[in-house]
Structure 1
Amino acid sequence: MTDIESISLFTEELVRVKTGKSLSDIEREVLRESLSGKTYSQIASELDYSRDYISQNVAPKLWKLLSIILKEKISKNNCRSVLERKIIIYQGSRKETTKTALINLNTIKDSEKLDINDCKLLDGRVPMGSPYYIERAEELICYLEINKPGGFLRIKGPRQMGKTSLLMRIIAYATKQQYKTVRLSLQRVDSTVSKDINKFLRWFCANATRKLQLESKLNEYWDEDIGSIESCTFYFQDYLLSIIDSPIVLAIDEVDYIFQFPEIANDLLSMLNSWYGEAKEVKLWQKLRIVLVKSTEAYIRMNINKSPFNMGIAIDLSPFTLEQTQELAQRYQIELLPAEQKKLMRLVGGHPYLINTTFYQIKCNHTSLESLIETATTDTGIYSDHLHRHLQNLQQYPELKKAFEQVLRAVTPVELEQALAFKLKSMGLVVQLEGNLVIPSCDLYRRYFYDVLIDM
């Protein structure tokens, strides 16, 4: 029987030779774990993804790809037996090695290679291993911070700026350092739980325990007489941090979701702030590394003078530079003339999601950049969903709408009240210059919102 490492190596090379592309990191891990006989639940737990994402998204696409390549139905149940048989075929005899099979793979004629179109519109996070992920200078800072005892990261930016994609890579890096990782999304908290601090913190501890694959001992540590915040703190200190030898990276995504429950948010963030303070003096707390991820669009509902975010290292994600946009174009195998590059940057201002959407349409739907620019501000244009979300926010907050209208009417930078300038910038709608002087972030916003808000 061929070992799992050899089967994996053979399969990865088979995919590369047949398609000219490589398996993504997560596809590679799902393949290896499936070959070892693990269930989707076990795989999801080890990779820190939901079971549904593995079983309904990653795995089906992987088995479909291998079925097309091998011209035989592949599933989780039969992948090992089929791939072992294919290795024997490419070896030519049982006496030859897997290395020989890999060499023979490279003799496949170009006419036998598959033309598999893997174009995917990246409407959210960029998967691990995707060629369309552009590394940011901030990543090194993130890796250095979670290596520090008691490290604390705050990743922020408007929606679709790449926060969750960066978080995924921080977690992957932590895993390679053999750290334990706990990733919690506050968007998954039930409304009944998020309105009660005691229920919320019990949810918080229960999910952290489950992610760490430990036995829940909530009832042993929860004490109504000292309160839920102290109970949660002692649970982490006396149980989770004490029983695990390695550092623990606690990543909390969608933090802004809890802002709609101000009292809960203040209690949670005050508790985390106290943990950050403990790490400066107590060695045990230095094992905990915290990463908070939030959308700055949530600031439109907040009093900025009472912002609770003042802990650790702040990572404020910014739009792509021209060089990063050029790099992404190359990965899409798109050639843009210098004049076209300038047009694109002027249109979307380097917004990662809008740049990816543009390149997807050009590459996979064979659309010209010129035609995309012409229809950019229409309700049938490729950016319509993105624009409608911003419009809905502006309509809900008349003071922001009025301030943005003032910016749109002007031909020179406009000075706004500090809070308004801050909130419009947090939404990604304006670029803030010196002081409180602002201009629209890009031509797309200027054209669309001028037509919708002013010309109506």
Structure 2
Amino acid sequence: MTSPIGEQTARVLKRHMERGNIRQVDLAAATGVSRKAVSDWLKGMLANPLKQEHVLVLAERVFRLQGEEKREFLVDMGYPDAILESPSTSLAVRQCRVVVLYSALEVRDKQYATALANLLKTQANYQVELLHQLDKIPSLTRADWIVFCLSPYSVYSAQLLDLLDSAYQIAQKNCSLLVGVSAKKLEDVPQEVSNLLSNIQVLDIENVRKELEEAFGSLLQQLSEKYHRPYELEMVTGAIPLDSAFYVERLCDESFKSCFERGDSALLIKGARQVGKTSLLARGIDMARRMGYHVLLVDFQRFSQHDLHSLKDFFIAFAELLADQLRLDIYPREVWREGRSASVNFDLYIRDYVLQPLQQRVLLAIDEADRILAHSFSDDVFSLFRSWHNDRSLRPDSPCHRLTIALAYSTEPYLFIKDITQSPFNIGSKIPVEDFDLAQLSVLNQHYGSILYRGELEEFLEFTGGQPYLSRCILNDMVIRKLSYYDFLLYIKNHDTALSDHLKRIVYLLSQETGHELQAAIKEFIKTGKVESQRLFSRLRSAGIIAGSVEYPRFRCRLYKDYLTAHFA
């Protein structure tokens, strides 16, 4: 598919490439796209559109254009306003791209849309384009807001619905905001229309210009405040505070809430390293407290080597931690009977001294639950947890009937638990914690002041894999150092940052493992693209290094692939 714009783009690119003796591979490397995409650009095809951030990189870093020559290049490439948004000034106040879209079923539709567009063009903060059909797809893909003009007549037309549906699909894909405006009050908006529009406002075109200006300005101000809230930077490491503006809700948040409200006995929060398990658990704890639960929190990461020496040492440390939280007068050693097994002693103490005095429901939240899996006594611990689950059905009068256990972990339990029938990991409600998708990454970007351009989000997703810690770490560094995304990629090649510390830690963890089994597996994966066993794949996935399946493994993100490939080459 070609167009005059596509052909013009191709001619301009070829001219500058010939002038500078620049190859297609140079364009691909600089912009981060595939060579096929570059080939499509040079053929004038729109299957891989040339985005604004690509044009800026080509102008400044590939063709080395400046002044009027750069401005002329941007105009020829179809981005006359891009000079306002060069990567070197990406932290400046950026203009909001608004597309005013109308159906043209009535003359008044065009008049109203034109009035709105002209009004916005007088404002310094908006770049405005007026469209009456979807013949300029690139315009919509670049839009921050798509303003759809409605009228009492057009709102019932099939043509408008088709147009609106197409705009909605584009807005969803590009994380744009789609709003509707009307010159007069719409008495009855069809459900299929209102479902597609996030907001419908009535702005009377017959009012004086000042009132219209105030009304539309107020609407956009509300939207701007909603989607571009002010922020203060926070520490990236560790669990995200409950009041943080940087927490992004995912499907796992809703799953946790549903399972908890349903009264499930065991909630299994599973995810790779640094994916946000502890942050989710913290929000679950907060929800439990607000629902009247008494919360007991245990982090196995805090247990010392002495605490993990034997089953008895572990259970005593566990019980003492709960006794401290509840300020109990009787500690486990005082009622511990050597004639009983450690499991029986611990079970009786929990029932009689921890659960029985508490009349309300109890949430036992355990973080880093898989830390004990490598120890010989882990089967006894988890089989006891399972027995508490069974008691909810077998012994309704048991205090365990009021107990819910939430376990956060990374490792596949079946790799360590010998008797899987005694494991709580196959009876609880599983809540997988996944990396961010494009929409969630877009929300995080908005929390950081939309420092990434819309087109950069997809590349950023590929680079980080949507890994929450990586995503926050990079965006945080970009804001602190006042760097654009492309400048940041250049910066980290020659400077130590929190990101480089993170990568070095991955290599360190691989090298510290006994027998270097995982390090050998990574080297083999880099060489062949395969992982030889499900066990090794599960361990690498739990470590947060690879994703996919044992049949089709892949690096979790391009950053890990590039770094580990270079390190182990």
TM-score bin, normalised by smaller chain: 0.5 to 0.7
Q: CA deviation at 1:377?
A: 6.0
- Aligned to 1:194, the other structure's residue is in SS state coil
**Is 1:137 aligned to residue 223 of structure 2?**
no
1:447 aligns to 2:565 (yes or no): no
1:322, distance to aligned residue in structure 2 (A): 0.6
Q: TM-score, normalised by structure 2?
A: 0.54
Matched, 1:253 2:353: no
Q: C-alpha displacement at 1:133, in angstroms?
A: 0.5
For the pair 1:276 / 2:409, whether they are aligned, the reply is no
Higher mean C-alpha displacement, 174-183 vs 401-410: 401-410
The percent identity for this pair of structures is 26
TM-aligned CA deviation for residue 381 of structure 1: 4.2
1:224 aligns to 2:342 (yes or no): no
Q: Shift of residue 240 of structure 1?
A: 2.4
Per the alignment, do residues 140 and 214 of structure 1 end up closer, same or farther by CA in structure 2, a change over 3 Å counting?
Answer: farther
Residue 160 (structure 1) aligns with: 274
> Secondary structure of the equivalent of 2:257?
helix
Cα distance, 1:241 vs structure 2: 2.1
Q: Which amino acid aligns with 1:242?
A: Q
Q: What CA distance in whole angstroms lies between the structure 2 residues aligned with 1:321 and 1:126?
A: 19
The one-letter code matched in structure 1 to 2:434 is: S
Highest relative contact order (Cα 8 Å, sep 6+), 1 or 2?
Answer: 1
Aligned position for 1:93: none
Change (3 A) 1:259 1:199: same
Q: 1:29 matched to which residue of 2?
A: none
Shift of 1:386: 1.6
Judged with a 3 Å threshold, the aligned counterparts in structure 2 of structure 1 residues 415 and 352 are, in CA distance, closer, same or farther, namely same
In the aligned structure 2, how far is the partner of 1:333 from the partner of 1:311?
A: 43
CA deviation map 1:125-158 (0-9, x unaligned): 1011100011121122222333444610121222
- Structure 2: gaps spanning 5 or more residues: 1-229
**2:271–2:409 Cα contact (<8 Å) kept:** yes
In structure 2, what is the Cα distance between the partners aligned to 1:276 and 1:287? 10
- 2:294, 2:362 within 8 Å by CA — same for their partners in 1? yes
* 2:522 corresponding residue in structure 1: 404
Match of 1:170 in 2: 284
Question: Residue type matched to 1:407 in 2?
Answer: F
Shift of 1:124: 1.2
Post-superposition CA distance 1:290-309 (Å, at most 9, x none) = 0112233x889x55877753
Cross-structure match for 1:263: 376
2-side partners of 1:378 and 1:145: how far apart? 47
Indicate which of 453, 463, 467 corresponds to 1:351.
467
Q: How does 1:55-454 map to 2 (within 5 A)?
A: 118-149=232-263, 151-218=265-332, 221-260=335-374, 262-283=375-396, 284=398, 285-296=400-411, 303=416, 308=423, 309-376=425-492, 380-395=496-511, 396=513, 397-409=515-527, 414=530, 416-433=532-549, 436-454=551-569
Are the aligned partners of 1:195 and 1:264 in contact in 2 as well (CA < 8 Å)?
Answer: no
Partners of 1:425 and 1:130 lie apart in 2 by 28
Task: Write out per-residue CA displacement over residues 80-129 of structure 1, whole angstroms, 9 at most, x where no aligned residue.
Answer: xxxxxxxxxxxxxxxxxxxxxxxxxxxxxxxxxxxx98322311110111
The answer to whether the 8 A contact 1:417-1:436 is kept is: no
Name the CA shift for 1:421/1:198 in 2 (closer, same or farther; >3 Å).
Answer: closer
Deviation at 1:282, TM superposition (A): 1.8
Distance 1:258 1:290, change over 3 A: same
Aligned amino acid, residue 186 of structure 1 = F
Secondary structure at 1:214 match in 2 = coil
Moved beyond 4 Å, runs of 4+: 302-308, 375-379
Q: In the aligned structure 2, how far is the partner of 1:367 from the partner of 1:139?
A: 32
RMSD between aligned residues = 2.6
- Sort the Cα spacing of 1:157 and 1:408 in 2 relative to 1 into closer, same or farther, 3 A: same
Please say if residues 377 and 383 of structure 1, whose CA atoms lie closer than 8 Å, have aligned partners that are also in contact: no
Q: Contact (CA 8 Å) 1:421, 1:432: kept in 2 or not?
A: no
1:181–1:211 CA contact under 8 A, matched in 2:
no
* 1-structure distance, mates of 2:527, 2:488: 25
Deviations 1:43-95 (A, max 9, x none): xxxxxxxxxxxxxxxxxxxxxxxxxxxxxxxxxxxxxxxxxxxxxxxxxxxxx
Q: For the structure 1 residues 429 and 117, does the alpha-carbon distance in structure 2 shift closer, same or farther, using more than 3 Å as the test?
A: closer
Secondary structure at the residue paired with 2:360?
A: coil
Query: Mind listing any 5+ residue stretches in structure 1 that lack a counterpart?
Result: 1-115
CA 1:306/1:239 → structure 2, altered by over 3 Å: closer, same or farther?
Answer: closer
Letter in 1 for 2:310: D
Give the letter for the 1:212 counterpart. Answer: L
Shift of residue 187, structure 1, vs aligned partner: 2.0
Mapped contact 1:155–1:163 kept (Cα < 8 A)? yes
SS at match of 1:257: helix
Q: Go from structure 1 to structure 2 and tell me whether the alpha carbon gap of 1:282 and 1:130 turns closer, same or farther (over 3 Å shift).
A: same
Displacement, 1:160? 1.4
C-alpha contact 2:301 2:371 (8 A) present in aligned 1: yes
Q: Note if contact 2:264-2:429 (Cα within 8 Å) is conserved in structure 1.
A: no
Structure whose alpha-carbon radius of gyration is higher: 2
Decide whether aligned partners of structure 1 residues 321 and 277 sit closer, same or farther in structure 2, where only a CA change above 3 A counts: same
Q: 1:379 to 1:129 in 2, by over 3 A?
A: same
Q: Distance in 2 between matches of 1:325 and 1:379?
A: 25
Structure 1's 289 and 377: CA in aligned 2 closer, same or farther, altered over 3 A?
farther
Distance 1:192 1:217 in 2: 18
Alignment check: 8 A CA contact 1:250 1:290 kept:
yes
Superposition deviation, residue 252 in structure 1: 1.2
Deviation at 1:388, TM superposition (A): 1.4
The alignment covers a number of residue pairs equal to 333
Q: For residues 398 and 350 of structure 1, do their structure 2 counterparts lie closer, same or farther at Cα, with a shift above 3 Å needed? A: same
In structure 2, the CA distance between the partners of 1:227 and 1:270, relative to structure 1 (3 Å rule), is: same
Partner of 1:102: none
Distance 2:379 2:252 in 1: 28
Is contact 1:183-1:252 (8 Å) kept? yes
Q: Kindly tell me: are residues 304 and 202 of structure 1, through their superposed partners in 2, closer, same or farther at Cα, counting changes over 3 Å? A: closer
What is the rounded CA distance, in whole Å, between the counterparts of 2:404 and 2:413 in structure 1?
Answer: 25
* Stretch deviating more after TM superposition (351-360 or 201-210): 201-210
Q: Is the 8 A contact 1:414 1:438 kept in 2?
A: yes
| Distance in 2 of aligned mates of 1:195 and 1:271 | 18
Q: 1:318 to 1:305 in 2, by over 3 A?
A: farther
- CA separation of 1:247 and 1:194: change in aligned 2, threshold 3 A: same
